[in-house]
Amino acid sequence: MKPLQSKIALVTGSSQGLGKAVAIALATSGAKVIVNYHPSQEQAAKDVVAHIHKEGGHAVLFPADVTSLEQLRLMYAFVQSTYGHLDVLINNAGVMSNGPLESVTETDFDRHFSVNVKGTYFNIQQAVPLMKPGSRIINFSSSVTGQMYANYSVYAATKGAIDQLTRHLAKELGPKGISINAIAPGPSNTDMFVVGRTEAQLASTKANIAAGRLGEPSDVASLILMLLTEPTGWIQGQTIKANGGFI
């Protein structure tokens, strides 16, 4: 019996990067996975589902912009009509672009909070009615909240908000038997982090990580799988750093 056999799991933003790795890991562990993706990432999402099917797993596609409550309602109506309930929600969808204070536009600011915070919050709101005791929610924070970096103010602020949402919603969801936690990856070998950085910048980052390398998507996926097992149900409202000793 696989550890997540017959569990229903939804992973937001799972067409690429960390979300893709998590979706594949959950399916490999027996879960039936809903691969959520932004409509602009359709082919990449189809490739993820094809990979899961090739490995003998179960996955379906559902496009939804996490900033649209209307689209989220349609997605969770699909989950209810198809599966009847939801066991696992992974709030992975996010954006990151950095710049000095004077360069940040209102559009930049609103986009970060809309995707990273609003998207997470309303996914949880829509998911909880479909969840029964023993269900798990995992949000994505970031290890950048433990540092002091120039040019990261908006992104770091959104991830600080995720930490607080996780803590306070634990008080609401705990009595329902639903656990909610956040993970905070460090610098990772994904397009979100690597693209636009020079080799010298990447080498400098690696030198500041105890493990001496960037994190891999599989490192994060392994932690999530651990948090979805029964013995970890006592962990509630925490932000767990997965960064190779970055901070």
Catalogue the active-site residues: 141-142, 155, 159
Q: Can you list the alpha helix ranges (DSSP code H) found in 12-152?
A: 17-28, 42-54, 69-83, 106-113, 119-127
Whole-Å CA distances, 165 to 20, 120, 178, 184: 24, 9, 15, 14
* 182, β-bridge pairs: 139, 239
Give CA–CA dist 125/227, Å, rounded. 21
Q: Among 83, 76, 57, 75, which Cα is nearest to 129's?
A: 76
Q: Residues 167, 168, 169, 172: is their CA dihedral positive or negative?
A: positive
